[in-house]
Chain A
């Protein structure tokens, strides 16, 4: 699947930019105008159609053009030590023609590297969600625990994730668990904090309903807290996945093995700058897809704020 997306990096990048532009447009549109431009009759309103077409397609294309232009300029001014967009494109075609080859542990296709990174992120992030979300719930629900853990969170949260890597290496005695540990520790904080804040911000009205009905703690959790906190929680999840994807690249540069971060470092050692540029695009696009999927998930679960 990954290979299919990456066969043509320039096209997929423009696709991706379009999705950003669309999501930005649609979020902006919520306040100003309906998301779907109203097409009242199948009347041949070609002017409006072409106008909206250019408004959605032209800006991202221009943005991408700007990037490629700047890149070409930098490439020319550095005497080609940075490859030109065209060279990178040709190289990308080659790299993506066979993304899943294996020539020993240190020479594997880009597909395998991305999958290895995604797997680490999934495990580390999954564990963090498993611990962080329930922790956020109890910290938000009970003031005592909130006072107990807030200083700890404030102290540990600003620590650069990579500072945890040596601890992981020491405790788990292996590069892979250490990288997963790093992902875990950096992606747990947004989930704990957002969930806790969400629980604390559950409208007092809803809690009064719970008190008048004298609901059990279980009913409060499932019928009131969970649905009310879900949007906050998903924001935490989104931030966490974003951080995790940022950190995995750095962690893999240090730990080695298979992974997109390691691939970047390996290509640097080979002085293969074209592949580094391709890796940058791959990292960006995968991060974007992760973000996009989670935004979709979040909007699906966000309830309309009810105003009296």
Chain B
């Protein structure tokens, strides 16, 4: 892999997104320029309705931009694909399949043509073990808790060995304790797999704890990137030790300052 790919693995070049609504055109995003290096963990943060998820969907290829282009590994993103796995906000597990089958569907799709059945089953088992859900493999999504569902969603995304992991508020619907536990697990998994991750969040602590780079977005409509903050905290990161680290406090303050001082008029505007 050459040097330019390592630093410019994902490139978002002058992207704008306009939606057609009943009331006419709605400009969601404008003028987005962003580069993400291989192995980087990027958090997209901003107030509700600022187009964080829109940007994530564009990188996933689920939608196509009105203007501009997106590149992944020097190829234009023209549609979704298993090399850019998505962890959906509401986990989106298929309720009629067991956790095992939900993950296996993805494993089969990506490795089914090249590997034996036993290897595929082993991959599925490994993915479930990675998120600590071996015991729930034969349960259906309706029978497990919200946090477990989200972990199955993560396992489904990770089992594909994606080049990029895209997460849309993956822990948004969870209680604080479960969220902290899953964040720690995610830190560990990412450290092991060296994945490139783009995560949408509205949780300042989550963004600072997990990311190398925090992309702060201005309020919509026609949102754009307001500021990019590099988080230079050493890894592995421990949440308890970080809580009093001045660098952590500084990053946290910078994000809060952006969100609530400079972009704080969202309630009035909306």
Pair A212/B86 contact, Cβ less than 8 Å: yes
Q: Mark B74-99, 1 if CB is under 8 A from A, else 0.
A: 00000111101110111111111100
Q: Mark A206-227, 1 if CB is under 8 A from B, else 0.
A: 1011011111000100011001
Complex: A208 Cα to B141 Cα, angstroms: 18
**Nearest CB in chain B to that of A301: its residue:** B96
Pair A213/B95 contact, Cβ less than 8 Å: no
Contacts of B84 in A (CB 8 A): 212
Most B CB atoms within 10 A — which of A212, A228, A304, A305?
A: A212
Q: Mark B132-163, 1 if CB is under 8 A from A, else 0.
A: 00000000011000100100000000001000
Pair A305/B95 contact, Cβ less than 8 Å: yes
**Nearest CB in chain A to that of B106: its residue:** A213
Tell yes or no: A308 within 8 A of B by CB.
yes
Tell yes or no: B60 within 8 A of A by CB.
yes
Tell yes or no: A45 within 8 A of B by CB.
no
Pair B146/A308 contact, Cβ less than 8 Å: yes
CB contact under 8 A between A212 and B94, given known A306-B141, A306-B142, A308-B149: no
Tell yes or no: B180 within 8 A of A by CB.
no
The range of chain B's interface size is: 20 to 34
CB contact under 8 A between A212 and B93, given known A219-B109, A223-B105, A308-B149: no
Contacts of A304 in B (CB 8 A): 95, 142
Pair B96/A303 contact, Cβ less than 8 Å: yes
Number of A-B contacts (CB under 8 A): 62
In chain A, residues 102-155, which have Cβ atoms closer than 8 Å to a Cβ of chain B?
A: none
Pair B95/A306 contact, Cβ less than 8 Å: yes
Most B CB atoms within 10 A — which of A205, A209, A228, A304?
A: A209
**Nearest CB in chain A to that of B92: its residue:** A205
**Nearest CB in chain A to that of B160: its residue:** A213
**Nearest CB in chain B to that of A203: its residue:** B92
Contacts of A208 in B (CB 8 A): 62, 80, 86, 88, 92
Complex: A208 Cα to B85 Cα, angstroms: 11
8 Å CB contact of B85 from A212, A223, A303, A305: A212
Pair B82/A214 contact, Cβ less than 8 Å: yes
**Nearest CB in chain A to that of B157: its residue:** A212
User: B199 → chain A, closest Cβ, in Å?
Assistant: 16
Contacts of A305 in B (CB 8 A): 95
Pair B62/A212 contact, Cβ less than 8 Å: yes
**Nearest CB in chain A to that of B60: its residue:** A212
Tell yes or no: B129 within 8 A of A by CB.
no
Pair A227/B94 contact, Cβ less than 8 Å: yes
8 Å CB contact of B62 from A211, A215, A219, A308: A211
Q: Mark A168-207, 1 if CB is under 8 A from B, else 0.
A: 0000000000000000000000000000000000000110
User: A58 → chain B, closest Cβ, in Å?
Assistant: 36
Tell yes or no: B173 within 8 A of A by CB.
yes
8 Å CB contact of A214 from B81, B89, B91, B149: B81
Complex: A303 Cα to B95 Cα, angstroms: 7
Complex: A228 Cα to B149 Cα, angstroms: 19
User: A72 → chain B, closest Cβ, in Å?
Assistant: 51
Contacts of B89 in A (CB 8 A): 308
Contacts of A224 in B (CB 8 A): 94
Pair B105/A206 contact, Cβ less than 8 Å: no
Contacts of A223 in B (CB 8 A): 94, 97, 105
User: A207 → chain B, closest Cβ, in Å?
Assistant: 10
8 Å CB contact of A209 from B92, B110, B149, B173: B92
Complex: A260 Cα to B109 Cα, angstroms: 54
Pair A209/B94 contact, Cβ less than 8 Å: yes
Pair B96/A213 contact, Cβ less than 8 Å: no
Pair A213/B105 contact, Cβ less than 8 Å: yes
User: A201 → chain B, closest Cβ, in Å?
Assistant: 15
Pair B95/A308 contact, Cβ less than 8 Å: no
Contacts of A215 in B (CB 8 A): 105, 109
Complex: A214 Cα to B61 Cα, angstroms: 11
Complex: A214 Cα to B86 Cα, angstroms: 12
Contacts of B81 in A (CB 8 A): 212, 214
Complex: A11 Cα to B161 Cα, angstroms: 65
In chain A, residues 4-61, which have Cβ atoms closer than 8 Å to a Cβ of chain B?
A: none
Complex: A202 Cα to B142 Cα, angstroms: 18
A209-B92, A213-B82 given; 13 more Cβ-contact pairs under 8 Å = A209-B88, A213-B160, A214-B80, A214-B82, A214-B109, A215-B109, A223-B94, A223-B105, A304-B95, A304-B142, A306-B93, A306-B149, A308-B173
Q: Report B's interface with A, CB cutoff 8 A.
A: 60, 62, 79-82, 84-86, 88-97, 105-106, 109-110, 141-142, 146, 149, 160, 173
Q: Report A's interface with B, CB cutoff 8 A.
A: 205-206, 208-209, 211-215, 219, 223-224, 227-228, 303-306, 308
Chain A to chain B contacts (Cβ below 8 Å), 14 pairs: A205-B88, A205-B90, A208-B80, A209-B88, A212-B81, A212-B84, A212-B85, A213-B109, A213-B110, A214-B80, A227-B94, A303-B96, A306-B93, A308-B91
